[in-house]
Structure 1
Amino acid sequence: MTESEFLSASDAIFAQIETALDDVDFDVDPLLSGNVLEIEFEDGSKVIVNRHTPNQELWIAAKSGGYHYRQQGGAWINTRGDGEFFADLAAAISAHAGEPFAFGR
């Protein structure tokens, strides 16, 4: 994938995350600034999604740890073990919010 394709794909992912968070019943505030999407919760905790362009990876930082994802076969797969980006992000959002959350795909 070219750098331009990666940037377009990650922009679409950021937009998908923000749209999904607009539809939740709990208090959450997403803030996109450049390559970083901060998702802040009512208690002040955050989940941070970052795109790392040189490696063409998406990163998640949450209470549970830090995770890196690279596109493989049309999905964003954890580079350090098992896991898929949207499933892992949904689990992190649920843990921070104390409410169930899932991406409607």
Structure 2
Amino acid sequence: MTDSEFMDRAEALLARIEARCDEINDETDADIDNQRVGGMITLTFPKGSQIVVNLQKPLHEVWLAARAGGFHYRFDGSAWRDTKGPGEFFEELSAQASAQAGLQLRFA
């Protein structure tokens, strides 16, 4: 994947997170505050916990940091896959956000 292809896919991923946060806030009482600065989005939950998603351009990876730990993802041609296992980005983001919000959330 070229740098340009990575940035196109990664920017689409970040835009999808932002849009889905807005939808979740409209549909539920989750009250997720999302702030984007460059290639990083910080999701802040009502009790103060955060999830940070940021781009690692030189590695062509997207990193997700949550209370449960850090996860690294690379695009495999169809989805963002965990570099250390079979996990998919939006599944993990959904699981981590659900745990931190205290209610079932879906980012896919």
TM-score normalised over the length of structure 2? 0.91
Deviation of 1:81 after TM superposition, in Å, equals 1.7
What residue in structure 2 maps to residue 17 of structure 1? 17
39, 44, 55: which one pairs with 2:43?
39
Deviation of 1:74 after TM superposition, in Å, equals 1.1
44, 47, 52: which one pairs with 1:48?
52
- Quick check: 1:58 aligned with 2:62? yes
Once residues 71 and 38 of structure 1 are traced to their aligned partners in structure 2, the CA distance between those partners, rounded to angstroms, is 21
Deviation of 1:49 after TM superposition, in Å, equals 0.3
31, 35, 38: which one pairs with 1:27?
31
Unmatched 5+ stretches in structure 1: none
Unmatched 5+ stretches in structure 2: none
What is the percentage of aligned positions where both structures have the same residue?
42
TM-score normalised over the length of structure 1? 0.94
- The structure carrying a bigger strand percent of its residues is 1
What residue in structure 2 maps to residue 72 of structure 1? 76
Once residues 62 and 100 of structure 1 are traced to their aligned partners in structure 2, the CA distance between those partners, rounded to angstroms, is 16
Once residues 77 and 18 of structure 2 are traced to their aligned partners in structure 1, the CA distance between those partners, rounded to angstroms, is 24
Q: Which runs of 4+ in 1 moved over 4 A?
A: none
